[in-house]
Amino acid sequence: MPNPKMFAQLLPSLRLAPKRSSSTIARHVQCYTKPGASPLPSSPARPVQSPVRRSPWLASLQTRTFSVSAAVSHGHVDPPKPGEELYVTFIDKEGAEHKLAVSKGDNLLDIAQAHDLEMEGACGGSCACSTCHVIVTDQEYYDKMPEPDDDENDMLDLAFGLQETSRLGCQIVMAPELDGLRVKLPAMTRNLQSSDFK
Amino acid sequence: MFFIRCTKSRPWANSHLKLASIRPFFRALPSRTLSTAQSTRDGRPFRLAVIGSGPAGFYTAYRAMTRIQNARVDMYEALPVPYGLVRFGVAPDHPEVKNCQEKFEEVASSPNFTFIGNVSIGTKSDHPDGGTIPLASILRHYHAVVFSYGAAKDRTLGIPGEHVKGVYSARQFVGWYNGLPEHANLAPDLTRGDEAVIIGQGNVALDVARMLLEDVDVLRKSDIAEHAIETLSKSKVRRVHIVGRRGPMQAAFTIKEIRELLRLPSVAFHPIDTSLVPQDIKSLPRAPRRLMDILLQDSPTPPTHCSPPTQTKQQKSWSLDFLLSPTAFLPSPADPARLAATKFTRTTLSDPFDPAAYALPTTDADPHTIPSALAFRSVGYQSTPLPEFAPLGIPFSDRHGVISNDGRGRVQHEERAADASMRIGRFPGLYCAGWVKRGPTGVIASTMQDAFSTADAMAEDWADGRVAFLNDKGRDVGGWDGVKGEGMSGVRVVDWEGWRRIDRAERERGARVGKEREKFTRTGDMLAVLG
């Protein structure tokens, strides 16, 4: 079992995570939440049906900075039409909140990757790994979602930090009844398990 | 515990005295004596060598490149092709698991990443077309080295008859059906009988079972090696026993792989011994509860009990056989070089419902024999130290089969100081990730987390400025250019563009036969693509 001392040892690595200053977050929220404002810059050069997921990290490599880039150009989610925005809030590993305006039909993995949040999707969103594990903070929202199927539950069984309201981000599809959803990204605890070394 | 104690040999204990002239920095240094001004690192690229191009190597490279400014990563791979067990371990009918390759391609497309394929580090290449570079040469040209070369050997049972024909290692069998050049010539004979025994109850054992039971026409569309399709289509195996020393509550397999076997059309599952499942499974934690639930379900295809294997279209079936420990592989009386049966002794559990229970052999002499012309040993992979570890003093724990490290991938060991107290000795710039760091268990997601923690530790150390790295006394290092400069005559290096050409050629071969890819199973054929 992980103990607090072990978590303490993890803390330095968390401090190294890309910093999202409050102003950056505010910009996200402001940009995507102001009704009537053009919420997301569209990217006409890129065909929306492109099956290749370009994750945001390459761009940050090229610019050699750790700041949050204008991530919307990376993912393959479509910006919501004015007046049809649904809101979802991601709470990252450092506790910072990212409130995003998204379209109906987008799943949480695509949304997170499009907005540069730290969520891997090792299997490309095909429900074959547990790297996009999220915890729904509000039981009420959890209950509104279609129940996870056997395949998703099988993967959740292997997820670290599993909670009663855990889901795979790739399987949560935004719908009007989920407007206002809040999900937490689980802290990485796997490497601190002493059982790995027995 | 974070720290892995090496209880066996301590080859490094005095080795630095003898080997100081070879690589003096390789004495383990107590970390508190190290100091390097941060300013010396500013402006210079961080040069990292990654040994091995499987998921551990790629995820470490990826994280290091996002966490360390100006990181230049050179990845060394002994084969001409990348991706390690994603290519050669993941079952061909699990294409979705291989989607992580998309991420690896992104990593490799960075201008700060260099792939150096067909080059083995410190150990003679296991194929005739490959080159070798001494580890010592790598250590001269980088600030840090990540060992992520995985586990290339397997554990043996150490029982009589392990080498008779018909006994295979699951690792070799997996390599064979996945087109790994090392095992492309395995040519397992699946025609000698209808019963097969798999010893071990991990997910590799279930992969082997699925390959033996699955409809060949389903596999035909996957990227399975062509020779495997030929052999599997002639297979006479109808009945697969997956045997373990312990019970269902202790088994290492996961529910996804069990569910897949249960879903195989017209393949039957024999009921398990229900006395090994707790009465009140509702009170179990979620994961074991769901697993017990599925194991107790009736098989969608009920097993028929036609014992004489005479019918040509006999039903295929499988079972999980618990509480059996193998004692011998029995050769056939007619042909003593060939397997006829596998002999087991029954075991008893310290507590049948405790996941950590251990198995004890029973005292009554009641051996259990399963007739089997075919047996697979699937009791785990094993990492081995590179040959240069011992002379360089790099600690490898034989007991755990891992490079001794602090749990976050920093290579280190305990040593006794002059005042007899124990302290931790660091090995500047050396890190490890993946199976060679934590042992050969877990899925790609676990290796990803593990690789991230190694890269984070390395990034912290680099940013700290006081932690020593290799070659950080003001001298710039050249990375791959420097290594090349030491002379690489006759070595055929495959760069990323070279791999992409091999990749394209494999896809074209596959397209001709309706598969996603037809792998080259010989390194010579891979290199022939490059002219």
Q: What is the largest CA-CA distance in chain A?
A: 58
pLDDT at residue B119 greater than cutoff 80: yes
Measured between beta carbons, the chain A residues lying within 8 angstroms of B446 are 190
For residue B125, name the pLDDT band (cuts at 50, 70, 90): confident
> Could B100 and A123 be called an inter-chain contact, meaning their C-beta atoms sit closer than 8 Å?
yes
Per-residue confidence (pLDDT) for residue B42, from 0 to 100: 63
- For residues B61 and B48, the answer to whether their CB atoms sit within 8 Å is yes
- For residues B148 and B317, the answer to whether their CB atoms sit within 8 Å is no
For residue B305, name the pLDDT band (cuts at 50, 70, 90): low
Residue type, B266: S
Q: How far apart are CA B107 and CA A60, in angstroms?
A: 12
**Mean pLDDT score of chain B, rounded to an integer?**
89
Of A13, A64, A154, the CB nearest to B460: A13
Q: Picking from A25-29, B189-193, B229-233, B246-250, which range would have the lowest pLDDT averaged per residue?
A: A25-29
- B435 known ligand binder: yes
Q: Tell me the domains of chain B and their CATH numbers.
A: 15-152+383-492 (3.40.50.720), 155-381 (3.50.50.60), 495-531 (no CATH)
Per-residue confidence (pLDDT) for residue A36, from 0 to 100: 35
Task: Average the pLDDT over B16-35 and give the result.
Answer: 39
**pLDDT per residue over B497-510, tens digit each?**
999 999 999 999 99
For residue B41, name the pLDDT band (cuts at 50, 70, 90): low
**pLDDT per residue over B329-362, tens digit each?**
999 999 999 999 999 999 999 999 999 999 998 8
> Could B450 and A120 be called an inter-chain contact, meaning their C-beta atoms sit closer than 8 Å?
no
Q: Picking from A8-22, A54-68, A166-180, B235-249, which range would have the lowest pLDDT averaged per residue?
A: A8-22
Q: What CATH code is assigned to A4-39+55-188? A: 3.10.20.30
Q: How far apart are CA B116 and CA B242, in angstroms?
A: 40
Task: Average the pLDDT over A10-31 and give the result.
Answer: 34
Task: Average the pLDDT over B185-202 and give the result.
Answer: 96
> Could B449 and A124 be called an inter-chain contact, meaning their C-beta atoms sit closer than 8 Å?
no
> Could B449 and A190 be called an inter-chain contact, meaning their C-beta atoms sit closer than 8 Å?
yes
Higher pLDDT, B154 or A133: A133
Task: Average the pLDDT over A10-33 and give the result.
Answer: 34
> Could A16 and B459 be called an inter-chain contact, meaning their C-beta atoms sit closer than 8 Å?
yes
pLDDT at residue A47 greater than cutoff 70: no
- B112 known ligand binder: no
**pLDDT per residue over B470-479, tens digit each?**
998 766 789 9
Give the best residue of B448, B461, B464, B466 to mutate against chain A (max A CB count within 10 A): B448
Question: In sequence order, which ranges of A49-176 are alpha helices (DSSP H)?
Answer: 57-63, 108-114, 139-144, 150-156
**pLDDT per residue over B405-432, tens digit each?**
999 999 998 777 778 788 888 899 999 9
ipTM value for the complex = 0.84
> A166 φ, ψ to 5°?
-75, 145
**Nearest CA of chain B to the CA of A81: how many Å?**
30
Q: How far apart are CA B31 and CA B46, in angstroms?
A: 20
